[in-house]
Amino acid sequence: EAGVVQSPRYKIIEKKQPVAFWCNPISGHNTLYWYLQNLGQGPELLIRYENEEAVDDSQLPKDRFSAERLKGVDSTLKIQPAELGDSAVYLCASSLSAGLETQYFGPGTRLLVL
Amino acid sequence: RKEVEQDPGPFNVPEGATVAFNCTYSNSASQSFFWYRQDCRKEPKLLMSVYSSGNEDGRFTAQLNRASQYISLLIRDSKLSDSATYLCVAYQGGKLIFGQGTELSVKP
Place B53 in a pLDDT band, splitting at 50, 70 and 90.
confident
Count chain A–chain B contacts defined by CB atoms under 8 A. Answer: 41
Give the C-alpha distances (Å, rounded to integers) separating A58 from A46, A54, A85, B32.
Answer: 7, 10, 19, 21
- pLDDT (tens digit per residue) in B5-45: 998 789 999 999 999 999 999 988 888 999 999 999 999 99
pLDDT: which is higher, B54 or B99: B99
- Cβ distance A42 to B94 less than 8 Å, yes or no, reads no
Burial class (CB in 10 A: 0-12, 13-18, 19+), A37: buried
Give the whole-angstrom CA distance, residue A112 versus residue A84.
Answer: 8
Q: What is the pLDDT of residue A99?
A: 79
Give the C-alpha distances (Å, rounded to integers) separating B103 from A26, A50, A62, B79, B82.
Answer: 29, 33, 33, 14, 10
Nearest by CB to residue A42, choosing from B46, B91, B100, is B100
Mean pLDDT of chain B: 94
Q: With a cut of 90, say whether residue B93 has pLDDT above it.
A: no
Give the whole-angstrom CA distance, residue B48 versus residue B35.
Answer: 5
Closest CA to A97 of A45, A37, A24, A48: A48
- Cβ distance B98 to A108 less than 8 Å, yes or no, reads no
Continuous H helices in chain B: none
Strands (DSSP E) contained in chain B are 4-6, 11-14, 19-25, 32-38, 44-50, 55-57, 60-65, 70-75, 84-92, 95-98, 102-107
pLDDT: which is higher, B51 or B19: B19
Q: What is the pLDDT of residue A1?
A: 67
A89 pairs with which residues across the strands? A37, A110
Q: With a cut of 80, say whether residue B79 has pLDDT above it.
A: yes
Nearest CA in chain A to B38: A42
Q: What parts of chain A have a pLDDT lower than 70?
A: 1
Nearest CA in chain A to B4: A42
Whether A57 contacts chain B with CB within 8 A: no
Q: What is the SS3 assignment for B99?
A: coil
Give the whole-angstrom CA distance, residue B16 versus residue B72.
Answer: 19
